Structure 1
Amino acid sequence: MKAKFHQVPKAFNNAFSIRHDILPHFGTIWHYHPEIELHYLIKGEGVRFIGDHIDHFGEDDMVLLGSNLPHTWKCNEIKQGENHVEALVLHFHPECLGKEFLTVSETQEILKLLQLSKNGLIIHGDTKERIKELMAAMQHTNGLEKLIYLFAIFRVLATSDEYETLSRSFAYNKLNKIDESRMDKVFSHTLTNFREKISIEDVAILCNLSSTSFCRYFKMITNKSYFDFLTEVRLNHACRLIIDSDLTMQHIAVESGFENTSNFYRHFKKFKGITPTEYRKRLV
């Protein structure tokens, strides 16, 4: 998928930044940046893509993204001109306090945390609640006090085990313009047409590649097969229908692009570990 370098905005000479976003959407550009990102979602929902991770996002989610980990948030359909997302976003460059900062013994817990964040972490429980308070307070501080809040956040995160890894493995390689164009076409085509039948041949043509070459190409960039990627997009949509509607599983299977109900059940069990019916019962 197309990953654009993103220049994180911050005041001149500031070591890090925190902002409160209230926007129509987060944008859809698949991007990366060297700064660590701590993202707390106050309002909004849709699908997030972090490395090779695909899942629904909703209000009260908190994620920690490592340096140069490609990501994007694709918001649900919105009405033009309305603000549908709100978030607190903290950016911190790992070398903003000097290249030696993370080499001393006192910061080894922070270094370990940043290494874990390379695959993306979703933060849960009391840890999330404490960090929410610290981020909210940090917005209204300056100078040394703001830096103290940053270290307080690091301390809470570094001493917690209330998190889950999001991306199984994602070694980002910078893409040239041809690669960017190809993967952008694949990304857009899949999200637009996942409810319909999509063949490898159809997608390969978008990239001007043979079917065999495309399969190797996609796997090299995303660490998964194209059909695994397509299946995860469909399953994510199915999960939202299971949660937000009382549609039958047969109807949900069709609405999510699966050939039949048995095919839907088989893929759901493989990727989620439980059946769609069990998934619904757990949420009732």
Structure 2
Amino acid sequence: MKPLFHKVPVKPESSFSIRHDIRPNFDTIWHYHPELELHYIIKGEGVRFIGDNISNFSYGEIILMGENLPHTWRCKEEYFENNPDLVVEAIVIHFLPDCLGKYLLTLPEAYMIPKLYEKAKSGMVINGEAREKVAKLMQEVTKASNLERIILLLSILNILAETDEYTTIATDHSFYQSNESDTIRLNKVCTYTLSNYKKDITLEEISAISNLSVTSFCRYFKLMTKKTYYDFLIEIRISHACRALVEDKLPTEVICFDCGFNNVSNFYRHFKKVTGITPLEYKRKYLTQ
């Protein structure tokens, strides 16, 4: 998908932005910005798109994304059913690489920070003890003011720069910039796919959604995403299958058909191609953690 440039609002009296959001859902568009983003999901579940990666997200997840890395979060369908008891909650920090001054990055004591920024260009899921420490500090930043805000941000960066408890998200952070009409078109495709992945979606059907001929749509989608629409649809289905396997409420064969696959052998083949392991191995891996 072609991401839309997003201008992150920062108050004149602040060197970086922090938000504590509580709302019905994360119905955000596919976008990018020059700021790094540290995103802590307190409540909520769904699918996230970061660079060329499609994965599930759930509460407790902390992600650091580098400058201009395109991303969006899409909640599960139940978050769009106007249930007042079902909300999402997140703390989000946006900061430019040199928000604390360009000289800081040249200090010998801070040599790990530029290295962290480079790793963040592909996105990082923060795990283990580092995640616990960063979550606590992010809560504190929401209540801090003046110099304490900067001290807490530096403490967070110090933890992230030194930890090896992280997983890289995207394999490629290059992308095409877009205009507003392109972004609206591809967000329509994304939204429609997430709402209808359980059924057969033909190229004629999805091309009509984007107001393009089938040939033009296939060429356009491949150019923008570096993958075919069929590959994109498969990844969406597999991400939902992964969540269902971890929830462990349904047999694998039922999950297969519930996620839009027409036969079990195809499901197993596509699952291993996307994840690198079989559904049973995936289930054992996460249920034994």
- TM-score of the superposition, structure 2-length normalised? 0.89
Residue 14 of structure 2 corresponds to 14
1:128 aligns with 2:141: no
1:115 aligns with 2:108: no
In structure 2, relative to structure 1, the CA distance for the partners of 1:246 and 1:144 (3 Å cut) is: closer
1:208 to partner: Cα distance: 4.4
Residue 4 of structure 2 corresponds to 4
Residue 74 of structure 2 corresponds to 74
Count residues with an aligned counterpart.
Answer: 284
The partner residue of 2:279 within 263, 267, 276 is: 276
The partner residue of 1:258 within 258, 261, 283 is: 261
1:147 aligns with 2:150: yes
> Which letter maps to 2:117?
L
Residue 96 of structure 1 corresponds to 99
Q: SS of the counterpart of 1:119?
A: coil
Map 1:179-258; keep pairs closer than 5 Å: 179-258=182-261
1:13 to partner: Cα distance: 2.9
In structure 2, relative to structure 1, the CA distance for the partners of 1:206 and 1:21 (3 Å cut) is: closer
Residue 163 of structure 2 corresponds to 160
Deviations 1:236-283 (A, max 9, x none): 111222222432222211111112100000011111122112322332
Deviations 1:33-66 (A, max 9, x none): 2211111111111111111111111111110011
- 8 Å CA contact retained: 2:207, 2:217: yes
> Which letter maps to 1:225?
T
1:24 aligns with 2:27: no
Note the residue ranges of structure 2 that are not aligned, 5 or more in a row: none
More displaced stretch, 237-246 vs 202-211: 202-211
Distance 1:197 1:251 in 2: 17
1:25 to partner: Cα distance: 1.6
- TM-score of the superposition, structure 1-length normalised? 0.91
- 8 Å CA contact retained: 1:170, 1:223: no
Q: SS of the counterpart of 2:111?
A: helix
Distance 1:199 1:161 in 2: 43
> Which letter maps to 2:184?
S
Deviations 1:197-220 (A, max 9, x none): 123343334444454443332222
1:170 aligns with 2:147: no
- 8 Å CA contact retained: 2:2, 2:177: no
More displaced stretch, 253-262 vs 11-20: 11-20
Distance 2:9 2:142 in 1: 15
Q: SS of the counterpart of 1:246?
A: coil
- 8 Å CA contact retained: 1:68, 1:172: no
Q: SS of the counterpart of 1:172?
A: coil
In structure 2, relative to structure 1, the CA distance for the partners of 1:177 and 1:85 (3 Å cut) is: closer
> Which letter maps to 2:149?
K
Distance 1:46 1:208 in 2: 27
1:161 to partner: Cα distance: 1.0
1:83 to partner: Cα distance: 5.1
Distance 1:85 1:208 in 2: 33
Q: SS of the counterpart of 2:201?
A: coil
Aligned-pair identity in percent equals: 49
Distance 1:178 1:22 in 2: 29
More displaced stretch, 231-240 vs 100-109: 100-109
